[in-house]
């Protein structure tokens, strides 16, 4: 029986043989955390989410950090966390949406692992983020316009740093993961 929208993994090397770190970059709402957790299980790697690590270290939410320290203060904390996490081995890291803004973060990510840009269309990002109150950069009078502006600025940065760009428009997470796993194995073999 032929599989539809799924890959036959019988002739492929398993993702667990993928050596090194995998870093997921992309806009807020692209699915980096959800994909990263499952990808780490498949690859038999430890999973980290840089925003969650920041919250664990500070004991407060990202929104609270933004409120008290502004974006600059948050980015300094994020840079320290990215530096620490990229020094680890055999991990999958979901970065915050703005992590690649800083050159030091781009260098750390690009020199210590395989960077995957989870590219989502703005309309999909908006559907996923519009009711989330924990998105301080979207706490504006016109959050959709802000999201469009962020995408225009960040998309070229994500694309430039990425070893692999993967569109996230799949109808469900498992189908997307199967495709991502297939593309990772092919990209690493090249």
> Is residue 7's pLDDT more than 50?
no
141-161 residue pLDDT tens: 788 898 899 999 999 999 999
Q: What is the pTM assigned to this prediction?
A: 0.89
* Domain annotation covers residue 14: no
- What CATH number does residue 161 fall under? 3.40.50.300
Q: How many domains is the chain partitioned into structurally?
A: 1
Q: How confident is the model at residue 124 (pLDDT cuts 50, 70, 90)?
A: confident
Within-domain flag for 49? yes
Residues near 32 by Cβ (< 8 Å), separated by ≥ 6? 24, 25, 26, 49, 94, 95, 118
Specify whether the CB–CB gap between 179 and 125 falls below 8 A: no
Contact 80, 129 (CB under 8 A): no
Question: How much is the pLDDT for 132?
Answer: 66
| Mean pLDDT of the residues in the chain | 88
- Domain contains 150: yes
Q: Name the residue range of residue 162's domain.
A: 21-189
> pLDDT for 23-66, tens place per residue?
999 998 899 999 999 999 999 999 999 999 999 999 999 999 99
Query: Is residue 80 left, alpha or beta, with left meaning phi > 0 and alpha meaning psi from -120 to 50?
Result: alpha
Domain membership flag for residue 162: yes
Cα distance from N-terminal residue to C-terminal residue, the chain: 30
- Cα-flanking dihedrals φ and ψ of residue 167, to 5°? -70, 140
Q: What is the mean pLDDT of residues 59-88?
A: 95
pLDDT in tens, 93-110: 999 999 999 999 999 999
Burial zone of 45 (CB within 10 Å; 0-12 exposed, 13-18 middle, 19+ buried)? buried
CA dihedral 51, 134, 166, 21 (to 10 degrees): 10
The number of angstroms, rounded, from the C-alpha of 10 to the middle of its chain's C-alpha atoms is: 28
């Amino acid at each position: 029986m032929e599989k539809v929208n799924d890959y036959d993994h019988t002739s492929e090397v398993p993702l667990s043989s993928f050596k090194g770190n995998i870093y997921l970059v992309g806009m807020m709402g692209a699915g980096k955390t959800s994909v990263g957790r499952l990808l780490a299980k498949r690859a038999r790697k430890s999973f980290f989410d840089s925003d969650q690590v920041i919250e664990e270290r500070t004991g407060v939410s990202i929104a609270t950090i933004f409120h008290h320290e502004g974006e600059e203060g948050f980015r300094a904390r994020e840079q320290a966390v990215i530096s620490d996490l990229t020094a680890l081995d055999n991990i999958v890291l979901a970065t915050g949406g703005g992590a690649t803004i800083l050159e030091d973060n781009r260098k750390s990510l690009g020199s210590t692992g395989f960077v995957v840009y989870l590219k989502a269309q703005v309309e999909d990002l908006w559907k996923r983020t519009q009711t989330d109150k924990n998105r301080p950069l979207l706490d504006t009078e016109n959050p959709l316009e802000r999201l469009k502006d962020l995408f225009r600025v960040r998309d070229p940065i994500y694309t430039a740093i990425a070893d692999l760009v993967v569109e996230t428009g799949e109808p469900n997470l498992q189908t997307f993961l199967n495709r991502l796993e297939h593309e990772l194995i092919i990209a690493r073999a090249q």
